[in-house]
Amino acid sequence: MSEFVRLEVADGVATLRLDRPKMNALDVQVQEEIRAAAAEATDRDDVKAVVVYGGEKVFAAGADVKEMADMSYTDMVQRSGRLQSAFTAVARIPKPVVAAVTGYALGGGCELALCADVRFAAEDAVLGQPEILLGIIPGAGGTQRLTRLVGPSTAKDLIFTGRFVKADEALRIGLVDRVVAPEQVYDEALAWARQFTGAASYAVRAAKESIDRGLEVDLETGLEIERQQFAALFATDDRAIGMRSFVENGPGKAEFTGR
């Protein structure tokens, strides 16, 4: 049983819940529990979408600096790959993932939020990559995912300075996608995730993989990824259901089976 990370599933939506008082510091144990929760969310057929949530007061204030301070170069050579892959496990969940950001999402907390497909933030949320202030750089995907999301100049400004970003600026630069009242963040994220409980699951999966994999390659290769995913969906039941429903009843009325 995980001690600090839970996967709570209800009505087709899983909440990947961080619960390590008081700031959800992301030590090695939490990293591995995040990996396990992401794997479970990936494997479970009853999970159609995922909300990543740290609770009402804080998303995650970053890595456990006390733990890292005692690590040597060789320690981190061994650990850094596991750190990155734990977060990548969230990014690779083949279902829609939304981060519900309250309070602080700093360092590793911001990097975890970057692994979601979209990010909803509280009006008083604060995000940032302050690793430079510790004499290091982001090591769980921040230099790569942040750059792809907000562009190289903005990413360099945030990472070089380590400055904190309030919710309104985060929305303006594209770091978050929606800003709401603090008490509404989780409910808004949950409502977004619930859109997909009756969706054509393999089509959503194909769309996510085409976009994510396409960002990693040149245009021609990306188009080939899209072509293969597009053609493969003609082997699914939901494609037949969706097209038949469109012809007979018009758009938006199909009842998909997820097969």
Per-residue pLDDT tens over the stretch 20-35: 999 999 999 999 999 9
**Per-residue confidence (pLDDT) for residue 1, from 0 to 100:** 75
Per-residue pLDDT tens over the stretch 34-72: 999 999 999 999 999 999 999 999 999 998 999 999 999
Fold for the domain defined by 5-194: 2-enoyl-CoA Hydratase; Chain A, domain 1 (3.90.226)
What is the CATH code of the structural domain delimited by 201-249? 1.10.12.10
Measured distance CA(94)–CA(245) in Å, rounded: 25
- Return the SS3 of 128: strand
- Where are the chain's structural domains? 5-194, 201-249
Structure tokens at 119: 């990010």
Measured distance CA(55)–CA(57) in Å, rounded: 6
**Per-residue confidence (pLDDT) for residue 193, from 0 to 100:** 98
Per-residue pLDDT tens over the stretch 182-219: 999 999 999 999 999 999 999 999 999 999 999 999 99
What is the layout of strands, in order, in the sheet containing 97-101? Answer: 5-10, 13-18, 49-53, 97-101, 118-122, 178-180
- Average pLDDT rounded to a whole number, residues 86-107: 98
Per-residue pLDDT tens over the stretch 160-185: 999 999 999 999 999 999 999 999 99
Q: What pTM did the predictor assign?
A: 0.95
- Catalytic residues, by residue number, are 63, 108, 111, 131
